[in-house]
Amino acid sequence: MRAVIQRVSKASVTIEGVIKSSINDGLLILLGIEDADSIEDIEWLCAKIVRLRVFSDTGGLMNLSIQEVNGDVLIISQFTLFASTKKGNRPSYIKAAKPDLAIPLYELFLKQMKKELGKEVCSGIFGADMKVELSNDGPVTIFIDTKNKE
């Protein structure tokens, strides 16, 4: 499982010309799922994201988590995080999980994030053609892969 986490002052996802979800101060999470992912990856990643200290304290240092600032979360499925560009110029997405596996894991991720965060989370729609807008705050962008756990 791979996630690109961006600290945002605002973010939204639009599907077929209609805003599906929007947040203000918080995290935009782009989530990629592969065949090897499991509930353990979901639990570890959600706990890690909720505890990431990427928000500024009163001294201007990144010492606070999304929970501590009561921020919002917007989660967008993104199979392209598993793009392989090793051969040629057309990316291959062979490592990305197929919908029959990815959709249940995505839905479990949403539920687990809600549980860890202690409040509702916003999302896009798996597999939809989505337009994501954001204002990256900082900018702060972090990449996490559950297979590397760095």
Strands 2-15 and 18-23: antiparallel
Q: What is the pLDDT of residue 88?
A: 87
Sequence-distant (6+) residues with CB within 8 A of 38 are none
Active site residue 146: no
What's the confidence (pLDDT) of residue 65?
A: 98
72: amino acid identity, one letter: D
pLDDT score recorded for residue 91: 92
Do 19 and 142 form a contact (C-beta atoms < 8 A)? Answer: no
Per the listing, tokens 């965060």 go with 117
pLDDT score, position 106: 98
Cβ atoms of 66 and 49 closer than 8 Å: yes
What pLDDT was estimated at residue 48? 98
Residue segments in the chain with a per-residue pLDDT below the cut of 70: 150
Q: What domains are there in the chain, each with its CATH number? A: 2-145 (3.50.80.10)
* pLDDT of amino acid 149: 81
Task: Give the tens place of pLDDT for each residue, 59-102.
Answer: 999 999 999 999 999 999 999 999 999 888 999 998 999 999 99
The catalytic residue among 80, 85, 141, 146 is: 80
**Mapped to the 3 state alphabet, what secondary structure does 42-86 carry?**
HHHHHHHHHHCCCEECCCCCEEECCCCCCCEEEEEECHHHHCECC
Hey, what amino acid is at 55? Answer: F
The contacts of residue 16 (CB under 8 Å, 6+ apart) are 128, 129
